[in-house]
Structure 1
Amino acid sequence: MLMTSEEYRESLRRLSPKVYLGGKLVESVADEPGFAPGVNATGITYDFALVDDYKDMMTAKGVNGETTNRLLAINRSRQDLLEKLEAVRLTCQFAGCAQRYLTHDAFNALYEATWRISERTGGENHDRLLAYIQHVQENDLSVGVAMTDGKGDRSKRPSQQEVRDAYVHVTERRKDGIVISGVKAIITGAPYMHEFLVMPCRRMQEDDKDFTLACAVPVDAEGITIVARPAGRPENPAAKMSAKFAQAVGVAHFDNVFVPYDKVFIDGETEEAHIMTTHYATHHRHSCIGARAGFGDLLIGAGAMMSEANGLDVEKKGHMREKMVDLIKITEGFYACGIAASTMGVHDEAGNFRPDQIYANIGKLLLANQIYDMHRLAHDLSGGLVVALPGPDEDHNPTTAAVLQDVLRGNPDVTYEHRANVARFIEDLTASETGGWYSVISLHGGGSPEAMKLEILRNYDVQARRDLVQALFDRNALELGKGMKIDRQPGRCCAKGCHGDDLVSDNADNKAAE
């Protein structure tokens, strides 16, 4: 079943999560103005899946063989990865952050990890996950990824924390399920999800088994309390993007929440859980590339419009052309890494398809570091009016409106109203509270830059490059006829190099000569 955005909104009204916003208990998340931009943004993923022009991109085959939303699907091929990347970019062009691609990333990572657990133990972990994925796909649910724990004292492991609730953990194991407690600190779209997918956020050791947990719980399960920020800048007339489309982020406290075993996918399997967190990072960083490319498209378009409104032609003004090309180069540069990660991806043993780790991490590292350059370039293209323009109320002030429209107009062919709207749009995306939010989630979403650097170095075959250079020395490629070469690889006796069979033969000849 594929829902519309209105059906999604109506489905939220049937839930009763315990959510606080601004210190007050929210009666209905679907009707709360503070969450409206988030509900709208998530709704984009529903409606776009029903548009004929987007169906191939936005839908895929589910685990039961029926059509499902692409952002809930298991990848089976390179083409699936490419379509997912395009789907994320498309939805984020309109929504800023479309949220549901996190569910896709979590499903694929858990698919790989639970398959390994079941192969090793013969347990039901993988079958439980398949049944849950089918449930989500058939009902077209939105699932919040509850991964980042509070973490407490960062110098200590989960089991060493003085406050155990700094990490979500198992407090009791019953015959019919487990009981969990703890806090998840960063859940995108938390208030208006149907369910939460709880997963570990770091590598766990033997002493951390109670914290090594992956399970699914309804958002309104007894014992869950959500404390959220508003989605964007709702009801703010100056917020030309985030008053309509944005995402809320919530902290969820799990207080002795019961989870039946059919919704428990990992419980103490530390090695497979580590594989899950690593592969989730790869899937998610691949998705982040598509998301921030959609954000880049908005800045490119708005920068061009603002330049025109200012009376400048970016193709004729060298300094403007350079900034526009830099903005395009950054956006399409990290997006190219997403394409490379898709086409050079690998089949996992479990049967799904995973992006190439090197290119996924390089692409995410590029955008994490360059998001601030994107903001700067948009500011350079636009000018100081982005933050100096009087508020929208002055546009309707009979004393000031006429003067502002006259003196703050640039290109005579562009109205003041249009110039003001574009300026406020760029402010919203880059220089407001929402702009700061985009910066931080670009930098730290999917892990810090240091985590990406570690993954790049861990997975990049540096030794092969060392061997390449060593082989050039051994084969005389860098010699210029100046004396004998003294650098040899172990077991090598000549520039050509010897094979194993040659060495056996040489040794036999030497013994015979003796």
Structure 2
Amino acid sequence: MSSEDYRESLRSYRPRVFVNGSAVTCVADDAALAPGIAAVGVTYDFARKSEYEPLMTARQGTSDKIVNRMLHINTHPDDLLAKLEAVRLVCRESGCAQRYLTHDALNAIFQSTNRTDSEHGSDYHQRFLAYLHDVQDRDLTLGVAMTDAKGERAKRPSQQANPDVYVHITERRTDGIVLRGTKAIVTGAPYVHEFLVMPGRAMAQEDADFAVCCAVPVDAPGITIVARPAGRPGEAAARFSARYGQSTGVVMFEDVFVPWERVFLAGEAEAAGHLVTTYASHHRHSCIGARAGFGDLLIGAGVLMAGANGLDPDRHGHIRDALVDLIKIVEGFYACGVAASVYGAKDSSGTVSPEPVFANIGKLLLATQIYDMHRLAHHVSGGLIVALPTPEEDHNPETAASLAAVLSARPGVPASQRLEVARLIEDLTASYQGGWYSVISLHGGGSPEAMKREIWRSYPVEEKSAFVERLIARGVADDGRKVSKQPGRCCAVGCQIPETTEKSIEGENSTGCHGS
């Protein structure tokens, strides 16, 4: 599909959506959601451009068909690298193209259903494979309904006073299951075609009813979406987010029926944890590409703003240093994404996952350094980005000429162009939309604490400690003489002169075990 085809395809759905307290009659025509639809549309249009086609499309191994990269199942580390670059490309254009979540969920469910079938003798994988091919053939966009409302955080799903703070199975019928509950943060919820419902955490056996994964149309009976506007539509000062943005929604499930052919996990509690961690690796890897694309916007805007201010990074060291720091941050976490791609490993399903340590380190870096990215963009841009008059003043006959005369800083760069760049940086970093980019970078794909736990869980700490222990045991120089001061290592008490000849003592002068 093209972006226009995608927008028109939304007309065939009738989801129950509320934005800013009002019901949305038609998602495709609603001005509050238009920037989000436009951002997803980039993933469709770029796949049709000849210069991007090798990156934005791929051959699906299970069908031998060419599909959009955002729907492809990775089978080689090169696929991971291409996906990373594709996500950076579309997010550089749109800020956040959102559709990469579809890719991450499809890959995780492909892997998880294969493993669950091997352990339980179920047929989830064949169901999912049929669903995957249908999604690819129709070129759909799927919303990932993963993060539950959670309720009291210290309690497990089955311990909650209100079970509907988690999505769960309330009934198993011969033809399918019935769901109730709430997913609290669903990216692009109003303008996707379907939801992939996934568990949001590992489950114990008593949480079996909450261990559910399935596909549900966005307008299935019983679904209500309460969403925020996508970006800053209609605001004159929103030089970027009036065109591109992202809506997030709370999605409530009230007795939603799902036929068995669309159910990919239903009560196998131990499988939920594998699905969650697998998705996390894919998604955090994609987030690296997404925020690198956002970093490209900041770097480019910072260079333009410095030039419009009359400053040359080649001659003004403080501007150059700040830009280099910004580049270091962006390319530093992106390098982790490249490493996660190169070291990606294939599992029994034939799918390649990003190496989890590099993927989580890259996501942790971008999550904690997004605020530094904003600070550096502010540093090179100057205070005008939040002090300039509103766009309405540009057309005020009483003030426009005077402002144009005094707000130009560099010959050849009109004030109007300088103000355009300033408003762009304000929109990206200092508006409520800029704050949204910060929070979604910090918590999207899991909080920093989740990344830290996964790094610790996946990192070979025991291997490192065993290596050092062997090093200490044999002596740093490995000359056969143990030099550790630890009792039992060099001697019983930890510090005695080793037995040797008088000549050797005089020749060596010091052995490392001398001392009072």
The residue that corresponds to 1:400 in the other structure is: 399
The residue that corresponds to 2:131 in the other structure is: 132
- Asked if 1 retains the 8 angstrom alpha-carbon contact of 2:474 and 2:482, the reply is no
CA offset at residue 87 of structure 1? 0.4
Superposition pairs for residues 9-28 of structure 1, below 5 Å? 9-28=7-26
The residue that corresponds to 1:176 in the other structure is: 175
Superposition pairs for residues 115-514 of structure 1, below 5 Å? 115-478=114-477
Give unmatched runs, 5+ long, in structure 2. Answer: 490-516
Partners of 2:154 and 2:273 in 1: CA distance: 19
Classify the secondary structure of the residue corresponding to 1:363. Answer: helix
Alignment RMSD (CA, Å) = 1.5
**CA deviations over 1:423-459 (Å, ceiling 9, x no partner):** 0000001001110110011000110001101111111
- Asked if 2 retains the 8 angstrom alpha-carbon contact of 1:470 and 1:489, the reply is no
CA offset at residue 122 of structure 1? 2.0
Classify the secondary structure of the residue corresponding to 1:53. Answer: coil
Partners of 2:116 and 2:32 in 1: CA distance: 42
- Asked if 2 retains the 8 angstrom alpha-carbon contact of 1:474 and 1:489, the reply is no
**Percent same amino acid among aligned pairs?**
59
Partners of 2:118 and 2:425 in 1: CA distance: 51
CA offset at residue 469 of structure 1? 1.4
- Asked if 2 retains the 8 angstrom alpha-carbon contact of 1:474 and 1:488, the reply is no
Partners of 1:25 and 1:317 in 2: CA distance: 53
- Seen in structure 2, the aligned counterparts of structure 1 residues 173 and 315 have a Cα distance that, compared at 3 Å, is same
Superposition pairs for residues 99-114 of structure 1, below 5 Å? 99-114=98-113
Partners of 1:485 and 1:202 in 2: CA distance: 45
**CA deviations over 1:263-316 (Å, ceiling 9, x no partner):** 000111122211010011110000000000000000000000000000000121
Partners of 1:272 and 1:112 in 2: CA distance: 11
The residue that corresponds to 2:66 in the other structure is: 67
CA offset at residue 121 of structure 1? 2.1
CA offset at residue 482 of structure 1? 8.2
Give the number of equivalent residue pairs: 488
Partners of 2:58 and 2:197 in 1: CA distance: 25
Classify the secondary structure of the residue corresponding to 1:33. Answer: coil
**CA deviations over 1:319-339 (Å, ceiling 9, x no partner):** 111100000000000000000
- Seen in structure 2, the aligned counterparts of structure 1 residues 484 and 162 have a Cα distance that, compared at 3 Å, is closer
- Asked if 2 retains the 8 angstrom alpha-carbon contact of 1:222 and 1:257, the reply is yes
- Seen in structure 2, the aligned counterparts of structure 1 residues 488 and 80 have a Cα distance that, compared at 3 Å, is farther
**CA deviations over 1:189-210 (Å, ceiling 9, x no partner):** 1000000000011111111011
The residue that corresponds to 1:509 in the other structure is: none
Partners of 2:246 and 2:472 in 1: CA distance: 56
- Asked if 2 retains the 8 angstrom alpha-carbon contact of 1:145 and 1:188, the reply is yes
- Asked if 2 retains the 8 angstrom alpha-carbon contact of 1:60 and 1:70, the reply is yes
1:84 aligns to 2:83 (yes or no): yes
- Asked if 1 retains the 8 angstrom alpha-carbon contact of 2:15 and 2:218, the reply is yes
The normalised TM-score by structure 1 is 0.93
The farther-off stretch of 347-356 and 475-484 is: 475-484
**CA deviations over 1:328-351 (Å, ceiling 9, x no partner):** 000000000000000011011211
Classify the secondary structure of the residue corresponding to 1:253. Answer: strand
Partners of 1:446 and 1:432 in 2: CA distance: 23
The residue that corresponds to 2:29 in the other structure is: 31
CA offset at residue 475 of structure 1? 2.4
The residue that corresponds to 2:493 in the other structure is: none
Supply the AA of the counterpart residue of 2:474.
R
- Seen in structure 2, the aligned counterparts of structure 1 residues 382 and 482 have a Cα distance that, compared at 3 Å, is same
CA offset at residue 473 of structure 1? 1.9
Partners of 1:489 and 1:410 in 2: CA distance: 73
Give unmatched runs, 5+ long, in structure 1. Answer: 491-514
CA offset at residue 484 of structure 1? 5.9
Partners of 2:81 and 2:66 in 1: CA distance: 18
CA offset at residue 476 of structure 1? 2.1
- Asked if 1 retains the 8 angstrom alpha-carbon contact of 2:28 and 2:34, the reply is yes
- Seen in structure 2, the aligned counterparts of structure 1 residues 318 and 108 have a Cα distance that, compared at 3 Å, is same
Partners of 1:153 and 1:23 in 2: CA distance: 26
CA offset at residue 138 of structure 1? 0.4
Supply the AA of the counterpart residue of 2:25.
E
Classify the secondary structure of the residue corresponding to 2:264. Answer: strand
Classify the secondary structure of the residue corresponding to 1:369. Answer: helix
Partners of 1:482 and 1:359 in 2: CA distance: 38
Q: Give the alignment partner of residue 6 of structure 1, picking from 4, 29, 54.
A: 4
Partners of 2:488 and 2:447 in 1: CA distance: 39
